[in-house]
Amino acid sequence: MFTGIIEELGRVRSVEKRGDDARIVIAAHTVTEGSHNGDSISVNGVCLTALDVKPDSFAADVSKETLFRSTLGSLKESSPVNLERAVTPATRLGGHIVQGHVDARGKFLGSEDHGESWTFRFAYPKEIARYLVFKGSVAVEGISLTIANLTDDYFEIAIIPRTFEVTNFSQLKPDDDVNLEVDVIAKYVERILIDQNRQ
């Protein structure tokens, strides 16, 4: 489990295709501190198992399903990636509960610069629409964010300078795909309501 508060902006060192799967190596320094082989690290919002952990890098195997469901299949050497270690019992939950299980791909539509902040706009697929609410939580590229405006086709989020500086949002270009994870609590509420209606 993660909080969606990004700890470090890493860089892809290499991507090795292994049949339908892949192994990626990521250059990083912060998230490798205290991490061991087998620990979970969120990469652009995708929960991966860290392997071959070194002070300046770690590797991860990415399955065919994850490559299909997320944007990790488009990573290449030098791609910037948002990184976060899994929470511990003492971690402050500064964002919201982020599982690292990507629900869908969205598309970056563009941003508006307000001088000291930005508004970012993302298109989303219809299948996750029921989980998105105004002022609700959503994870984009693993970043815990609050929906500031919501339409039937897109949502907007307000980005402060800190988020812009320490994440890959500064690298996004219109039409770039992004990983989206909806609030897991919304999924549980939906399931409870469905079960109640069946009784």
Kindly report the average pLDDT of the chain as a whole number. Answer: 95
CA distance linking residue 71 with residue 45, whole number of Å: 10
pTM of this structure: 0.90
| Encoded amino acid at 64, one letter | K
CATH 2.40.30.20 range(s) for the chain read 8-85, 104-193
Classified as helix, coil or strand, 190 is helix
CB-based burial label for 176 (10 Å; 0-12, 13-18, 19+):
middle
Report pLDDT digits (tens) over 88-104. 877 777 888 899 999 99
CATH class of 104-193: mainly beta
Residue 99: the pLDDT is: 92
CA distance linking residue 81 with residue 15, whole number of Å: 13
Report pLDDT digits (tens) over 53-94. 999 999 999 999 999 999 999 999 999 999 999 998 777 778
In angstroms, the first-to-last Cα distance of the chain is 32
Report pLDDT digits (tens) over 160-194. 999 999 999 999 999 999 999 999 998 888 889 88
Residue 138 CB coordination number (10 Å): 28
CATH class of 8-85: mainly beta
